[in-house]
Structure 1
């Protein structure tokens, strides 16, 4: 991404690989219209290439005159485009070979192949979006649930920027007052009221930053989700529970213990949270070699899991082997799940005797009894309230979290300095550091290497 953005034109395939009805080639830069004119033969000979209008015709190889594809094309004049540059889109047939041939013609006509995320990077560099909105585009493309898409859309609309900007404005006002005191030391100019400035920092800087940091973990939850392992003795119904949660026959179910030899992983959506659910081999002693390898893997997955569903056979009751296994998993957040309730004739279950157990659900995986309650308990365990944050629609990522934490620490240092009556120079330094951290989040002071890392997460053509 070292080429000049002022004079280069880029192109890429913007639709996913594979066969489809339509495939799109996107071109952005000053030569976009020239490239279009050199390749496109419009059906309407009076075609004027008005901005934001579709035109029908054919793409031809300029050297051979051969028709490459029948297309719809649109020219979009700057600045009313995604990149704020002239943009052309070629809507071709969605064949990988056709799109490859068309892209090759576009590159021969003068375009450079776009780097991953280069269209969005140009949108950012040209001021159409801030860096938080650019990152929201990544989140939309990578979202695993509808809730994840909703949060990313909120950020794309500027929700994070609009929460950070008032904090920056407050800091700027405080910095201006301090600068006056520094610039006129002989005029006995004092900051109007130290206690007032401390209250301003507490209410307008520290409190909002703390709220944003509190939401950062929740943002990660909806972006990346959690890993949940189903653990239990052989034949307690782990594979049946996996199939029921997925609503498909994903795992083999038999009446014979030890059927599952390796882990099976699938993704499910529980109230908007992406949950990677893992069915593991039943853990028991005396297993033969292949099953033992599966048991070792199950233990590794349990140690890496965010949540464990500890499954117990309700018809057999709690055995000593169950208690031993529980001691292996109880260092993790655990939901005890009593299965096969349909075969227990209304018998009551209470696993409170298991040390430290806080959550228990009774189900029948086969008959799908209690599954809705289990999902609610899973959601409660991983989310645990804070609906106010959800309404604010803001989801800081890890990069934002690091910068927010540094800004918060700098703001607190300012308050301590004010309380101790230290020099204005120290106050000014910490105020500026706080401002710089927040400016880094929105992309005003972000280093080039950091920008490259962010935009390299994109796919080609976005």
Structure 2
């Protein structure tokens, strides 16, 4: 597939001022040359030229364009690349793409330009993922995390860990080949175990920061719980600044979970307004309550809403018990009717600043990790956990004074897991799944 010349529209499939058709491959310049009024074969790399796209069959001028030429290997894909900047109508953009395909280019698969950059060694797999993260970023935090990844921050984070493991493996192999130089017990206690324990501590630090990064990137799963008619839906609407949940004076109006996302100065909350939890004979309401309990179990933050105009009763106590093992905030709603010690709000009037202040107090420190190298997705974190498990097994084997060649197997597994994060060891099915999430022109 790397021998094919690929083509795709790199800009959004909407009418606009400018569209870009990108080609990459050995024949990219020749194909574009056959479609233009200018001699692209003589153009220097990284230059842009003015001309027209001409239909080679009808000889009609199709569009007025600017064409950029980039010669391998100093390009994104490490192949020859041509980018045709045309007028941004969808019809004319597709017309020029069709002409490129008719001249021998193949329509690119999703993410194939970035995949070629990876396969040619231009970027590692974490940088490829960061490129897609940048495209999908919807907050400043997500964009900053993606930028760090594009610049190779994950590789810089992992290289010292990989180097330590190589050193450990080398020590073991020397001992196996030349056992007369080092006593096994001495080698284990003085060199291998201390290095493994320091390595493990660094891994735990990386995983802790990765969890903070994931929370910032994906949003904090936040469940709003309370008895029926305490103002949960009003609070959701106040947080979202829109009427997403139905609000009435009738208890049990919310019978299923209602979701929304908000951005709070660097923090993203994935909000879930749950059905009011109470004893009920209503079958539909019971299903909603069961879903609410599941949402509490999965939440990273639980906001317990109490009716501030009434005294706490047994049902309120049950709710507080459900939330006690989770990170939670207790708020007294309807502060316009009665004040309490603690966090008081009036959701119906949009007076929720005390709650927002508490959320920032709990989570703002997580934003410090944004400026540090981070693992940024589940694939990377799962491979790091796999590496940690392998090193724990190696430490256990050393403590049991097992043969060093068996210890080396676990350390090698940890090494492979970290190399998989960078894509230096990879499977084709993994690459297919990863790059399928990209757009065609990237």
TM-score under structure 1 length normalisation:
0.83
Q: Is 2:288 aligned against 1:297?
A: yes
Quote how far apart the aligned CAs of 1:151 are: 1.5
Cα distance between partner residues in 2 of 1:112 and 1:47: 20
Uncovered stretches (5+) of structure 1, i.e. residues with no partner = 350-359
Q: Does 1:445 align with 2:439?
A: no
Match of 1:365 in 2: 347
Displacement after TM superposition at 1:89 (Å): 1.5
- Corresponding residue for residue 118 of structure 1: 112
Q: Cα distance 1:203–1:322, how it changes in 2: closer, same or farther (>3 A)?
A: closer
8 Å CA contact 1:170–1:204 kept in 2: the answer is no
CA deviation profile, 1:361-412 (whole Å, cap 9, x unmatched): 21122444342x312433555x485666444231342222232223223333
Structure 2: tracts of 5 or more residues without a match: none
Which residue number corresponds to residue 355 of structure 2?
374
Select which of 7, 15, 20 maps to 1:19.
15
Residue number in structure 2 paired with 1:77: 71
1:117-196 mapped onto 2 (5 Å cutoff): 117-185=111-179, 187-188=180-181, 190=183, 193-196=187-190
Deviates more, 1:401-410 or 1:257-266: 257-266
Is the alpha carbon distance of 1:20 and 1:321 closer, same or farther for their aligned partners in structure 2, counting shifts above 3 Å? Answer: farther
Does residue 225 of structure 2 align to residue 231 of structure 1?
A: yes
Deviation at residue 112 of structure 1 after TM alignment:
1.0
Distance 1:81 1:32, change over 3 A: same
> Deviation of residue 104 (structure 1)?
1.6
Give the Å deviation of 1:263. Answer: 4.7
**Partner residue of 2:212?**
218
Q: What is the Cα-based RMSD across aligned positions, in Å?
A: 3.2
Alpha-carbon offset, residue 165 of structure 1: 0.6
Partner SS for 2:34: helix
Paired residue for 1:9, among 5, 9, 12? 5
1:243-262 matched pairs, under 5 angstroms: 243-251=237-245, 253=247
Once the two structures are overlaid, the 10-residue window that deviates more, 150-159 or 46-55, is 46-55
Q: Could you say what secondary structure the match of 1:165 adopts?
A: helix
State how far apart, in whole Å, the 1-side matches of 2:25 and 2:255 are: 55
Compared CA separation, residues 19 and 297, structure 1 to 2 (3 A): farther
CA contact (8 A) 2:216 2:367 kept: no
Matched, 1:95 2:89: yes
Asked whether the 8 Å contact 2:275–2:292 carries over to 1, the reply is no
1:173-228 CA-to-partner distances (Å, cap 9, x unmatched) read 2222222222234x555577433313551465222222222233223323322332
1:428 to 408, 428, 440: 408
Q: Return closer, same or farther for 1:266/1:416 CA change in 2, 3 Å cut-off.
A: closer
Q: Within 1, Cα distance between the matches of 2:388 and 2:278?
A: 50
Question: 1:49/1:141 Cα in 2 relative to 1: closer, same or farther (>3 Å)?
Answer: same
